[in-house]
Amino acid sequence: MLSVAILAAGKGTRMESSLPKVLHKISGKSLLQRVIDSCIELNPEQIFVITGHKSDEVQESITDNKKIKFVVQDPQSGTGHAIQVLCKAVKKNEGKLLVLNGDVPLIKPETLNKLLNSHDSKNADVSLITTKKKNPYGYGRVFLKEDFIERIVEEKDCNDLERENPLINAGVYCFNWGKLSEIINTLQSNNNQKEIYLTDTVSLLKNSLSLEIKDNGELQGINNRIQLSECEESIQNSIKEKHMLNGVTFINKASSSISEEAEIGKDVIIEANTHIRGNTKINSHCIIGPNTFIENSNVGFHCEISNSTVYDSQIIDHIKIGPYSHIRPNSKISSFSKIGNFVEIKNSQLDEESKVNHLSYIGDSIIGRSTNIGAGTITANFDGQKKHQTKIGKNSSIGANTVFVAPINLGESVTTGAGSVITKDSKDNSLAISRTKQVNIENWGGKKS
């Protein structure tokens, strides 16, 4: 039987943050959620998350999973204390207990599996992952005696000689839970931090084994924002490499970020400073960016989006957007349409070949096929209390600076006069115009030259 315990009770003092450390995010997902997601792949019987500092906030952040049980550690007297609290809270301390620090977010399920297999095959009391680091600063140093781990010494407890040891404890352990529970309450806090260290269990258990793996960045622990940014960079590099090998070009790779869930088709060019977030799909032959942000949206084939922002929307094929436009949630822009400069679109549907080229706000609207919306057109959709819809039929020609006071319904092939405020519905093929006639008063004077 496999149980998992994730240590997530600490404050994360070195983050200098009001947010608990494990809730800081890399590539859109919290450190803790990442560790949980890796563990779920192992299909354990149960996952215990040990919370303490801002416990409610940490518990609420976790996406629901029936296997997760929370155990509260209060006060937080160290990693060993966290496991003491767990052993007391759980009736049956049996089978394997995989313990992970909640601040080691890049750990892969394959690596965890390796640890479990090695633990089983050697019938260990505890097996833990170690690696040799060029700069081991901050980690517990692991000292071996023949094949066994003799002791782990924390950075703060090391003497100068011990500090030279590059072999570090990654904070990922597999215990024989029965054996662990026999010694867990004998741990002491006679160290420089006055904490109960989980790492001291290796000296109390007999068969303590190290599984050394190559330092590939996966074992990076996060204690401060420098390490947080290193992990972000490392995860981004691997995401972008995957896309490049699949046929995506990055013009300035370092300046862009891509979510793990994003799908990008072949021959897409990602220009500088472009950010693809959440569940977004970009189909092939698009040019995205520079300076573009797209979240939870679908972009069809052969689209060009520059200097623009798109949220929760559908952009179908052969569409140009930007520069400087904002497509807000629940919009659908159909094929061969064009959204030009400084245009805001919200909760609207534009049929094929429609054009909104300059300085417009289109909200809660349905725009028919091949309709041209003139520069500066505004849908006045809000009456102070409710939002209302604007409908414009196909093949219409909306004059510059038209204001539609919604709710309003225009037929097909309608023309509006430039500068009109449209408050009444109009039928197919009509001209809607509402403005005072120009009067020229002669000999008015004006500026004398």
Which are the contacts of 448, defined by CB distance < 8 A and separation ≥ 6?
A: none
Q: How many positions of this chain bind Ca ion (CB under 5 A)?
A: 3
Which are the contacts of 407, defined by CB distance < 8 A and separation ≥ 6?
A: 388, 389, 390
| In the complex, minimum distance from the CB of residue 57 to ligand UD1, in angstroms, rounded to a whole number | 13
102-to-23, 79, 99, 332 alpha-carbon distances in Å:
10, 11, 9, 40
* Binding span for ligand UD1 by CB under 6 A among 165-173, 251-259, 301-309, 356-364: 165-173
- How many Å apart are CA 232 and CA 248, to the nearest integer? 20
List, in sequence order, every beta strand (DSSP E) within 21-120: 25-26, 29-30, 46-51, 68-72, 96-101
Identify the active-site residue in 275, 302, 318, 358. Answer: 358
In terms of DSSP bridges, do strands 126-132 and 167-176 run parallel, antiparallel, or are they unpaired? antiparallel
Residue 35 binds which of Ca ion, ligand UD1, none (CB < 5-8 A, kind-dependent): none
Q: How many positions of this chain bind ligand UD1 (CB under 6 A)?
A: 31
Task: Put the strands of the sheet holding 361-363 in their side by side order.
Answer: 257-258, 274-277, 292-295, 309-311, 326-327, 344-346, 361-363, 378-380, 403-405, 421-422
SS3 238: helix
Q: Which of 20, 136, 221, 340 binds Ca ion (CB under 5 A)?
A: 221
Should residue 105 be labelled a site residue for ligand UD1 when binding is judged by CB under 6 A? no
Choice between 52 and 265, CB closer to ligand UD1: 52
Should residue 62 be labelled a site residue for ligand UD1 when binding is judged by CB under 6 A? no
Task: Name the phi and psi angles at 239, rounded to 5.
Answer: -65, -45
- As given in the structure block, the two tokens for residue 165 are 């040891």
Which are the contacts of 17, defined by CB distance < 8 A and separation ≥ 6?
A: 24
Which are the contacts of 353, defined by CB distance < 8 A and separation ≥ 6?
A: 334, 335, 336, 337, 369, 370
CB-CB contact of 345 with 328 (8 Å) = yes
351-to-153, 294, 319, 372 alpha-carbon distances in Å:
67, 21, 12, 11
Should residue 76 be labelled a site residue for ligand UD1 when binding is judged by CB under 6 A? yes
Residue 168 binds which of Ca ion, ligand UD1, none (CB < 5-8 A, kind-dependent): ligand UD1
Q: Which of 22, 87, 339, 356 binds ligand UD1 (CB under 6 A)?
A: 22
Should residue 5 be labelled a site residue for ligand UD1 when binding is judged by CB under 6 A? no
Should residue 77 be labelled a site residue for ligand UD1 when binding is judged by CB under 6 A? yes
Choice between 59 and 389, CB closer to ligand UD1: 59
* Binding span for ligand UD1 by CB under 6 A among 61-69, 166-174, 262-270, 426-434: 166-174
DSSP state of 419: T
- Centre a 10 Å sphere on the Cβ of residue 273 and count the other Cβ atoms it contains: 17
Should residue 55 be labelled a site residue for ligand UD1 when binding is judged by CB under 6 A? no
Binding positions for Ca ion, 94-113, rule CB under 5 A: 103
Our answer to whether residue 81 is catalytic in this structure is no
Should residue 197 be labelled a site residue for ligand UD1 when binding is judged by CB under 6 A? yes
Should residue 168 be labelled a site residue for ligand UD1 when binding is judged by CB under 6 A? yes
Residue 139 binds which of ligand UD1, Ca ion, none (CB < 5-8 A, kind-dependent): ligand UD1
SS3 318: coil
Choice between 199 and 348, CB closer to ligand UD1: 199
Q: Angle of helix 31-40 relative to helix 109-122, nearest 10 degrees?
A: 50
Choice between 124 and 198, CB closer to ligand UD1: 198
Residue 104 binds which of ligand UD1, Ca ion, none (CB < 5-8 A, kind-dependent): ligand UD1
Residue 349 binds which of Ca ion, ligand UD1, none (CB < 5-8 A, kind-dependent): none
- How many Å apart are CA 206 and CA 174, to the nearest integer? 14
Closest chain position to ligand UD1 (CB): 140
The H-or-E segment that residue 340 falls in is strand 338-341
Q: Which of 198, 205, 209, 288 binds ligand UD1 (CB under 6 A)?
A: 198
Residue 197 binds which of ligand UD1, Ca ion, none (CB < 5-8 A, kind-dependent): ligand UD1
Q: Which of 78, 300, 340, 411 binds ligand UD1 (CB under 6 A)?
A: 78
| In the complex, minimum distance from the CB of residue 188 to ligand UD1, in angstroms, rounded to a whole number | 13
| In the complex, minimum distance from the CB of residue 32 to ligand UD1, in angstroms, rounded to a whole number | 8
Q: Which amino acid is at 227?
A: Q
Q: Which of 7, 112, 248, 319 binds ligand UD1 (CB under 6 A)?
A: 7
| In the complex, minimum distance from the CB of residue 3 to Ca ion, in angstroms, rounded to a whole number | 22
Should residue 4 be labelled a site residue for ligand UD1 when binding is judged by CB under 6 A? no
- How many Å apart are CA 112 and CA 38, to the nearest integer? 8
- Interacting residues with Ca ion (CB under 5 A): 103, 221, 223
- Interacting residues with ligand UD1 (CB under 6 A): 7-10, 22, 50, 52, 73, 76-79, 81-82, 101-104, 139-140, 152, 154, 168-171, 197-199, 221, 223
Give the active site residues: 358
